[in-house]
Every structure is written in structure tokens, then in C-alpha cells.
Structure 1
Amino acid sequence: MSGVPIILCGKTEQIGTGVIENLKPEYEVIHFVLTAEAGAEEIPCVLRGQAPPTKSSGLGSGVYDSRPKAIVFGGGYDDAAVDFVAQSVADTSIPLLKADLSIPMPPVGPEYGKRILERCKHKLEELEKEGKLNGSESGIFLY
């Protein structure tokens, strides 16, 4: 494992691919989810250290023997989608990082991916410094 294991939820594999590559080497996306419905089914398996029976995406390292330290939602996930997934992991202490949609962003494309990545990485680093990626913290954190 090259970095801190995390789960990434995004609406497109195109942007997800770039975000995954640019989170390295500090963070390793072990599983990528395309929809809230898939996340609610797949993420509990991943948190138990198991590969989900079906996957909404082939992105991610697939290294399930290390428990993810956070679940990160891209800007395509609104409050309802994040809440839906959060309910499926309510019995687990894990931080959920959600894009702050009130912050102006460029249209979806390369510049969007770069900006969302910077914000996400900054928040992950902040939570890591505060000791909130140690498996005892839960809740939704905006980035």
C-alpha cells in the first residue's frame, strides 16, 4: 500500500481517474463508487475488508485488506446522496468528506478536477494532522 487508504465516490470515471492519480502517493483510493445506491451496497463490504460482490466501477487499487480511513464524495454528490450512503455506514466510525458546493468552481473538466483535488487533499491532510483518520472519528466534513 502506497498511502492512506480511502474510498472515493465520483460521478464520472474520467474525473475519478485523474483525482485517483493525483492523490498519490499520500492517499490510495482502494475503491471507487459511481452512484449513491452502489455506494450503499459496496462500501459496507469494503469497510469489512472484503471486495464487494459487484462493483459500479473498476477504478481503485482493490487492496481491501487495509481498512479505509475516509470516504470522499466528489462535487456530483448532493446532500441527499451523501446522507443515503452515510446511513449504510452509520454503525462505523469513519469520516465522510463532502465537497462544499457553495464554493464557486469551474465547469466539469480538467480544471474542475484540479481544483476539487486540491481542496480534498487539503482537508484529508488537515484531518490526518488532527488525528481524525484513526478510526475513531465519524461525521461529515466539508472540503
Structure 2
Amino acid sequence: MSSFTRPMPVVACGKIPAMGKSISQHMLPEYEVIHFILSYEAAEAELPRLLAGRDPQSRSPNEIGTHDYSRPPRSVIFGRGYEPQQVEELKKKFAGVAKEPVAWVRGNPADLPAGAAGPDYAQNIAADMKKVLQIWSDGGGKDGEILVY
């Protein structure tokens, strides 16, 4: 990535703030988490504004992400705490809101760690997310199926 390339803005949806913060840091420098959403209900309320390139006016703001809404997100990433059908519902509900194609990415709930996550968990998850987003980008960055990491 050249020094002139800005990171791709993404929205992250997770259930555990500490994990979201750590993963957000590991997504840099290629991807910038601009906003972190903690629940399905918040995603329903905030994604339409985010995808349209506007401040989500969150009712439950947090310190995760840059909160730079000057560029709309090119990806919405869901952690493994979200069920596949929830991601599908949100993708269908907000199809056509964004001006540019958006990668919808979700984790596989079957891959949740048993017990506490190990020390490299966030770094490994971020690496998996980056791989999926790079494949999407290399393929032309078009709207399509939900990607799974």
C-alpha cells in the first residue's frame, strides 16, 4: 500500500467491546474501522445512515473506531456472535443504500472458541478478515454474496 493510499473505511459489528477495539487496531493500516456496532438493533438503526455516508447519530456511542464519517464504509463486518440469518436480513434490508458496492462479511459462528479466546485471537481474526476483503477487492469489489471468514 503506497503512502498516498488511504485505508478502506469499514464498519465493524461485534458483541464484545474489548475484542472489537483490539481487532480494529489489527485491521490497520489497510482498513479503518470508522464505527463499531454492539447489537443487531443498533445495526438496524445505524447502518442506513452509515452506508449513505452520514453520521449514524448513535444512541450508544463507544470509543471504538475513528468516527470519521467523511467517507462511507466499503465493508460491513460482523463478528461470530451474529447469526448468519441476521447478516442476511440486514444486507437485504439495506441493499441499494450505499452509492458504491459494499462487502458484507461475517464470521462463522461454528468457529467460536470454546472458553476464553487466546492472546492472538484478535490478531488472527483481523488477518482472516483482511484476507477475505483483499480477495473481494482483487475481484473487482462488487456487490455479491456475503463473504465468510
- Superposed pair shares fold, TM > 0.5: yes
Root-mean-square deviation over aligned CA pairs? 2.1
**Aligned pair partner of 1:40 in 33, 44, 54:** 44
Which deviates more, 34-43 or 81-90? 81-90
For residues 46-99 of structure 1, what are the alpha-carbon distances to aligned partners after superposition, in whole Å with 9 as ceiling and x for unaligned?
111211222434211111111111100011111232134224312344221011
For residues 88-112 of structure 1, what are the alpha-carbon distances to aligned partners after superposition, in whole Å with 9 as ceiling and x for unaligned?
3123442210112344746443333
The answer to whether 1:111 aligns with 2:120 is yes
Q: Count residues with an aligned counterpart.
A: 140
**What amino acid sits opposite 1:130 in the alignment?**
G
Task: Report the equivalent of 2:148.
Answer: 142
The equivalences for 1:22-37 within 5 A come to: 22-37=26-41
Larger radius of gyration: 2
Task: Report the equivalent of 2:80.
Answer: 75
CA contact under 8 A between 2:54 and 2:72: conserved in structure 1?
no
Scaled by the length of structure 1, the TM-score of the pair is 0.85
SS of residue matched to 2:123:
helix
Summarize the Cα distance change of 1:50–1:36 in structure 2 as closer, same or farther, 3 Å threshold: same
CA contact under 8 A between 1:44 and 1:88: conserved in structure 2?
no
Distance 1:42 1:78 in 2: 18
SS of residue matched to 1:5:
strand
The answer to whether 1:96 aligns with 2:100 is no
Task: Report the equivalent of 2:91.
Answer: 86
Summarize the Cα distance change of 1:139–1:54 in structure 2 as closer, same or farther, 3 Å threshold: same
Which deviates more, 88-97 or 5-14? 88-97
The answer to whether 1:20 aligns with 2:24 is yes
SS of residue matched to 1:6:
strand
Identical-residue share of aligned pairs (%): 28
Distance 1:106 1:94 in 2: 31
Distance 2:73 2:114 in 1: 29
Summarize the Cα distance change of 1:111–1:43 in structure 2 as closer, same or farther, 3 Å threshold: same
CA contact under 8 A between 1:12 and 1:34: conserved in structure 2?
yes
Summarize the Cα distance change of 1:2–1:56 in structure 2 as closer, same or farther, 3 Å threshold: farther
Gaps of 5+ in 2: none
CA contact under 8 A between 1:37 and 1:85: conserved in structure 2?
no
